[in-house]
Structure 1
Amino acid sequence: MNQGIENVQHQMKYFNSNVSQTTQLLDIWVRILSQTAHNQVFLSSEEWQGGGMDSAKLGDLVQRDLQRQEEAERKIRDAEQLRDRERAEAKERERKRAELAAAAKTAAAAANDGTARQPSTRPGLLRGRRPPPPPPSGRSASGAGVGARSSTATGARGGRGRGRGSSIPPPATGSRIRPPR
């Protein structure tokens, strides 16, 4: 009786292993049938144009992906260059500010010492002074004749090409202008 029960146990294990192998084979067979059905639908589709066209489409997709990646990298490089340029410009502005502050400090120290240079005497820069009289004998300051005009941007009196009443201020001289005494 015990030996009969042991034989039944061995037969049940054998039967169980056969069932699991059969299940695995059936799963493989179902996947094969599913792929076959998919291939049949794919091949009977009017959109499919052959394996060569699939390769070409795949190549196009890969090319587009590469282009997108290169474009993204280019945008990143451009953004980094822009940030670097902005940093360099900010450093340059800060350096110029420091130079101007040092120059203003030097000019203020020189003004306090009484050693400041006198401002230029260009016409129109100092209030209360008159511009120099026109050149004698009808000749302009540039040396041209009476009827000739100068081709330079400065006028006959050495101005900067600004008309009377212009709202454009004269250029800064870099030092403080003292009022006349």
Structure 2
Amino acid sequence: MQEEQIDILNPDGTPAGYSCGRTRVHAEGLWHRTIHVWAFNSEGKILFQLRARVKENNPGLLDTSCAGHISAGDTSINAAVRELREELGVKKSPRDLEYLFEVKYACVLNGGSYIDNEYYDVYRVTLSDEEARSLVPQPGEVDSFVWMTRDEFFAKHKLHPEKFVEHPEDFQWLMENAR
């Protein structure tokens, strides 16, 4: 299977005019685009995924509902719809997602062997009661799911921040907007 190709950006977020595989993107710290989707149920609870314990980065930590790279030539919204289907087993259309904001994010993981320089678009989606009950974790990506109210999330995060993948801008939005 061929490695996913990703469009490369300049540090200012403008297209660099070429794409390459994920391995090179993260080995060299090349700037690229990704998406985060925060899913809510009809009661306003927030869905967190428990990252698979076999993941290279942040294994076994609670993370955004779903996230992923934007493949070369694809759009942010299409990537968000794809990731919902792949990681959660939920089929949504682009009109079901609400675009929230963009974040410039940089970090170094795994002793410097994985450099993550990205611009990510953040979306919100509401799942129907049926969708919320029928989530299917993607093997190798997601081990399970946890629903939390905003207050439960912030209480757990305050006590055990080491159990979460940190996304300060996302968490700020959740603090101000998730009800």
Q: TM-score, normalised by structure 1?
A: 0.18
Greater strand share, structure number: 2
Greater Cα radius of gyration, structure 1 or 2:
1
Higher relative contact order (CA 8 A, sep 6+): 2
TM-score normalised over the length of structure 2: 0.18
Between Structure 1 and Structure 2, which shows a larger proportion of helix residues? 1
